[in-house]
Amino acid sequence: MKKKELIKRLVSEIESGKIKTLGIYGHGASGKSTFAQELYQALDAEKVNLLETDPYITSGRHLVVPKETPDQKVTACLPVAHELASLQRDILALQAGMDILTIEEPWKASEILSGEKTILIVEGMSVGFLPKELFDKTICFYTDEETELKRRLARDTTVRKSEASFVRETHQIRRGQYRRYYQETEKEADVLINQSQNQFQIEKDYLLMNYLIGKDI
């Protein structure tokens, strides 16, 4: 199944009311943000909120170190790096029909998300550490090491103004912590997608299984 086909199917499930809250996650530079934006653009903007979770990654994570690797800084692959309680509070508020004010970032201003909108897409690494009961469905993306580094270099040196040398130096630490702490969250997703080397390979798809059952195929 191609990306456009999956987006078309998700739009159908969302518009029919089967999916009201969708979680999209994966390690850094896995392609989750691009997919979330494409899905958001395919939906009615008057009915859907897109809550990005990068602002819930705490700036104070340098104050703690991984127990197994005390010589390394904490990356977003560890749950301690995320303000999960605050994020869960905001998700529940939107689900209950209340407005929230998103957190400002250097690359994006804060905005009001309306609780009157009935559809919520939550996108970012933090989703992998949240209770799955918050979501009707979850989609997880991952890539191989080479693809992640290429994408980080392209994104972080332009959007986030990081030095290329810094991105390369920290890449092995990030990848190691991904394997140790974050990779296990992938098995909890309803849909798992491999985007290594520009492919779009669906490796697990409970959504399709349920879709076919609903169609009596």
How far apart CA 146 and CA 196 sit, in angstroms, is: 8
pLDDT score recorded for residue 212:
55
pLDDT score recorded for residue 217:
42
What domains appear along the chain, each with residue ranges and CATH number? 3-203 (3.40.50.300)
pLDDT score recorded for residue 161:
82
How far apart CA 23 and CA 84 sit, in angstroms, is: 14
pTM: predicted TM-score of the whole model, two decimal places: 0.91
pLDDT score recorded for residue 162:
87
pLDDT score recorded for residue 208:
65
How far apart CA 98 and CA 96 sit, in angstroms, is: 6
How far apart CA 113 and CA 103 sit, in angstroms, is: 11
Q: For residue 116, what are its two tokens?
A: 């009157």
For 141, half-sphere exposure in the C-beta direction (CA atoms, 13 angstrom radius) is 26
Let me know if 173 is exposed, middle or buried by CB neighbors in 10 A (0-12, 13-18, 19+): middle
Q: For residue 67, what are its two tokens?
A: 């127990």
Select from 115, 118, 140 the least CA-distant residue to 127.
140
**pLDDT (tens digit, 0 to 9) for every residue of the chain, 217 residues total?**
799 999 999 999 999 999 999 999 999 999 999 999 999 999 999 999 999 999 999 876 666 667 777 778 889 999 999 999 999 999 999 999 999 999 998 878 999 999 999 999 999 999 999 999 999 999 999 999 999 999 999 998 888 788 999 999 889 999 999 999 999 999 999 999 999 998 999 999 976 666 555 554 4
